[in-house]
Structure 1
């Protein structure tokens, strides 16, 4: 599916993901964790389709269950004792709830980062920080770009080796190890050659010279200003409400937090609208496009 939010200015994308990741990491209220998890799942599926569904349900959900089960075995704090483990340590309701909350936070952040990688490409990151921190932004952009290139080249090399009878997935341990070492040697050579070509290309294009200008393909228009105001406004309201205790929650020694006060309900609604902002933008643009097609 075409993601309209990805076509917005990089500053809009970066501000959104910075806020949503910070909120997901620091808001421990169960309602906020649930909202962020569901919205992250929805947006990742919208971006990556079946690949995201497979990743979310085959990897993230089992990770949630394992992490939630491990925490009560090591964390025994809490006032509500449900039972006792085989080693005599108490099993408390608070430790179980905190384990579920911590696991939810973990997979939510991973899911949001998968959306970030799909939207915030390396050229957007370099565009934002190339003049402020040029060396660091270049290193991060090259590192993020290197992993998918390495995986794609590894598939090419493995396929070529398999065509000439050097399949590293069949045979005994020693033949497979020898073929794996050969493939590794080829990949190391490719990495070194690619690094030399990249350095020569950067040098020929004047990287590091004083007065060198940067080409910008990201105009900041009225649509970006509106999105920046909405994201900034919702983020400021949520942050102010969190500082006022509208979504506070504690797990130890007993669970207690903000409930259904008008401020809390308003913050829940604002947080849901904030997390769903990319999906809302995409749905609105899709409906507008269908409406225009119908008029034609």
Structure 2
């Protein structure tokens, strides 16, 4: 039997990885600058290899990389702009700036997909349910009831229409509007009758009995979790300010500007590689090497 992998974020409250990954995904989608996109893609790929494993990551890249190439190669034909002409393909001119913009957008799309896959690995369904307020935990019940009642209502509608069509002793078939009115009236009365029975059944099981329903909280927010959230918030603000400044001075058209100094990318790089560093540190601690 395979031993389950250690997760760096299992020892902290679910709000910590939720805030970190949600902020990372948001900045990744908004920061359209080649170096920032490359850093985000590298961080997402590294975290996916560590957290999800090499085989699922490579299986996903089998369709993600062709999508990146498609976006990169298709953009020059839809946006023939720029000042550095590479070659002409019939009446279309392919510019370096258009090619770079397409490559950046394709890499951004792949990075966002990888981050979302990593978030789904770290934030399992029970951890997301623990983050939801108490009232929101009834949403799965409501969705389950809707998924059950809608097909039942459609099936009964077909039965009502078939019964009305088969009843020829009452005279000719009514018009479409009259038939719709009779079908709706029968379905409404049928649904109201069953709603009373369903409400009595749920009340007998304790729903809305007047007392607050107790729930076991598997995760509690501790002092170190609050400190981690504060540190992540500061890092997100610094990374957002870094991305805003870099994107403001970068232009694809008519000519690409020069990248900023390497230290200007440090806050965003720290945010992008924080999940994989935390995962590696947790695994080294588990093996007793730290």
- Report the CA distance between 1:241 and its aligned residue: 2.9
Match of 2:84 among 80, 83, 96: 80
Q: How far, CA to CA, are the matches of 2:135 and 2:240 in structure 1? A: 27
With over 3 angstroms needed to count, the CA separation of the structure-2 counterparts of 1:208 and 1:119, relative to structure 1, is: farther
| 1:105 Cα offset (Å) | 0.4
- How many residues are treated as equivalent by the alignment? 229
User: Where in structure 2 are the equivalents of 1:21-100 lying within 5 Å?
Assistant: 21-86=25-90, 88-100=91-103
Match of 1:232 in 2: 233
- Alpha-carbon distance change, 140 to 61 in structure 1, aligned in 2, over 3 angstroms: farther
Among 246, 264, 269, the alignment partner of 2:266 is 269
Cα distance in 2 for residues equivalent to 1:207 and 1:124: 24
For 1:39-97, what per-residue CA distance to the aligned partner results, in whole angstroms no more than 9, with x for missing partners?
101111112213323224312222211221121122212232222222x1221111100
Q: Would you say the 8 A contact 2:76–2:94 is kept in 1?
A: yes
Q: Aligned in 2, Cα 1:30/1:132: closer, same or farther, shift over 3 Å?
A: farther
Counterparts of residues 196-215 of structure 1 (less than 5 Å): 203=202, 206=206, 211-215=212-216
Correspondence for 1:116: 119
How far, CA to CA, are the matches of 1:207 and 1:67 in structure 2? 52
Cα separation, 2, equivalents of 1:254 and 1:223 = 48
Map of 1:283 onto structure 2: 280
Query: What are the Cα deviations for residues 179-227 of structure 1, in whole angstroms up to 9, with x where unaligned?
Result: xxxxxxxxxxxxxxxxxxxx99x95865666622332111222332332
Question: Conserved in 1, the CA contact under 8 Å of 2:242 and 2:267?
Answer: no
Question: In the superposition, relative to structure 1, how do residues 291 and 121 fare at CA in structure 2: closer, same or farther (>3 Å)?
Answer: closer
CA drift of 1:14 comes to 1.1
Question: Post-superposition shift, 1:132?
Answer: 6.6
> Unpaired runs of 5+ in structure 2?
145-197
Deviation at 1:252, TM superposition (A): 2.0
Quick one: distance in 1 between partners of 2:142 and 2:39?
Answer: 30
Q: Does 1:4 align with 2:8?
A: yes
CA contact (8 A) 1:238 1:267 kept: no
For residue 284 of structure 1, report the CA deviation from its aligned partner.
1.9
Paired residues of 1:125 and 1:141 also in contact (CA < 8 A): no
- C-alpha distance after superposition, 1:206-257 (max 9, x if no partner): 56666223321112223323321221111011112334x2454221222226
Q: Aligned partners of 2:242 and 2:89: how far apart in 1?
A: 40
CA contact (8 A) 2:87 2:94 kept: yes
**CA RMSD in angstroms, aligned pairs only:** 3.0
Q: Report the Cα distance in structure 2 between the residues aligned to 1:258 and 1:140, rounded to whole angstroms.
A: 51
Within 2, Cα distance between the matches of 1:206 and 1:76? 65
Structure exhibiting the larger radius of gyration computed from Cα positions: 2
Can you give the 5+ residue segments of structure 1 that lack an aligned partner in the other structure? 143-198
Cα distance between partner residues in 2 of 1:253 and 1:5: 44
